[in-house]
Chains A and B, each alone.
Chain A
Amino acid sequence: MALSRRWFLATVPLAGLGACSSSRPLVRGGAGPLEVASSKAAGAAKGMILVAMPETVQTREVWTGLRDELARDYDLVAVRIEGPEAVADLAAAMARYQPNGVVLMNNPTVAAYRAYQQQCGQQRFPPAVVVMTSFFDGHLPQLVTATGISYEIPLITVVTNLRQVISSPVEKVGVIVRPSLRGFVQRQAALAAREKVQVIEQPVSASPNSSEIKWALRRLKHHIDALWILNDDRLLTPRLIVDGWLPGLNERPYYATIVGAAALVSPHQSFGTFAVLPDHTALGVQAAGMLFDLADNRWELPAGAPVQLPVSTTTTVDLVQVRERFSLRADGLQHVDRIVE
């Protein structure tokens, strides 16, 4: 029986960074990681960068930003990491490409890389830059030698964008928050205070029902200029949206609602007024900047290297809702990337 390339790669001892020295083979059989894109440096490559990602429109945009910045100096390869073979595919890719640096896109990829590191045991790993991972703002998700860019748009940026579009003041922002995300909200509030934004928290239980959401909205609505709706899966179940959020949001007085998913801005339902999302190509450029810094530091992650916040955003607006309920600045729509009506 012929050995597969993947089994071979996973079991031959490899000395460099990125090759797992575990005595236990991590992968066996199968076709190996699927290379979805690659780029060779124009001259002598200054290093190899492995990009581990699922294939989506957004990850492709991040890849574009990375490639445009790094391709002249570095060899780049993107491998598809998703599904039940994710850990095995990552292990095979690490062994095959021996990268100097790694980019990890999205939560499941980070989970697979964490499992890979744990299976490898104590050893050195190349530095990893994590992107597109939820609520990754203040701590590393139990990865060794990793930094990254958080996926949530900072509230300070959200408010600045909103101020460019609507004419009413945006000084007091309400947020409904479960206990597990209060730390995140408090860090965002501290940052937003630089822009004279006051954050009014309305805590709810860890598993709120529709009545609790409606109650929380009523508690907030007379005290705020806008509502910031967190991208918290537990708060945004279809049932809670239909039975809790929508009835609460459609009671007067109205206020602008800011969401973190374009799908929540629709002219058919007055849910999100604005969606402020990461500009994924710019996110790739920002991640490339981190990789340049790592390369300049001989591929060593400086101690305490901070997780960055995303700088560049795109804004979607529900023009029907804005026209019905708020007043637009004269040039407001010139500051919007996508108009839904």
Chain B
Amino acid sequence: MNEPQREPVPGGAEPRLLVFLHVPLKQRAFQGQLQAALPGVSVSAVGRPADFERGLEDRPDAVLTLPIVLAAHHLAATLQGLHKGAADEPYVLAGVDAAPDPARVVTVGVIDSLGRDGMAAFVTNLLGAHPKIERVTKVEDLLPLLQLQRVEAIVLPARLLEEVAAPSRLSLVARPLAPKVGLPAVASLGGGGGPIVQAVRRLPGSVTGELGVNEWR
């Protein structure tokens, strides 16, 4: 196996990458995977909007997150993740035993990327309705919302449905949603951003697959 090339960094300090993405593995494991695949880059992975905001205050050289999060913080993507040539991906509304009706669902669970108000707008845009929203900060927490009957349905990227359902004996049934959501992107923010962008371009497929990405543009 080829070792990833170490990128020279201006000034000698390791450039810092702040990652705010939700993947179907623990943050400890995700950060470890990214750190191993990005030698010479200091990686910090967070899972909550408030932690991302605090991370931004520490002036990282680049951030890797969803375009909707970049937009909410008035940041521009330098490098866009793609899957089969598309920069966005389908989402689904999933419930137990029957596909939920987006127009009638009263409570939905969703992974929190934007905080209370931002997620309300996000879900409204996806469903065309205004259900009560229960936000969680980990992919794995979507299933308990259904198991404990806290919500009628969950909103998530279609690619994560199988992972969420895997440990359960519940029968999850999904309804595709028409609007698509942008795939992860990198925004370069500081002097070390350029080398980070180049390093992210070379991430192995085993890591980018967790992000729903198979190439970068």
Contact = CB atoms under 8 A, between A and B. Distances in A.
Given A292-B116, A311-B144, A333-B29, 4 more contacts: A157-B147, A281-B48, A308-B150, A312-B136
B25 interface: yes
Contacts of B29: 333-336
B202 interface: no
Interface stretch (B10-18, B167-175, B183-191): B167-175
B104 interface: no
B147 A68 contact: no
Given A154-B148, A157-B144, A281-B48, A312 B167 contact: no
Contacts of A163: 167
Nearest to A171: B169
Interface stretch (A75-83, A188-196, A256-264): A188-196
A140 to B, nearest CB: 19
Interface of B: 25-26, 28-29, 48-50, 116, 134-138, 140-141, 143-145, 147-148, 150, 166-170
A331 interface: yes
A-side interface mostly: helix
A309 B144 CA distance: 10
A260 to B, nearest CB: 16
Contacts of A58: none
Contacts, number: 73
Nearest to A285: B137
B25 to A, nearest CB: 4
B141 A311 contact: yes
A107 interface: no
Given A292-B116, A335-B25, A337-B28, A312 B148 contact: no
Contacts of B137: 282, 285, 312
A37 to B, nearest CB: 15
Interface string A143-171: 00000000000101100110110000000
Interface in A63-100: 68-69
**Chain A: number of interface residues, binned into ranges:** 20 to 34
Interface of A: 68-69, 154, 156-157, 160-161, 163-164, 191, 194-196, 281-282, 285, 289, 292, 308-309, 311-312, 331, 333-338
Contact of B26 (A69, A281, A289, A334): A334
Given A157-B144, A312-B141, A336 B26 contact: yes
B135 A289 contact: yes
Contacts of A164: 140, 166-167
A160 B25 contact: no
B170 A311 contact: no
A154 B150 CA distance: 13
B164 to A, nearest CB: 10
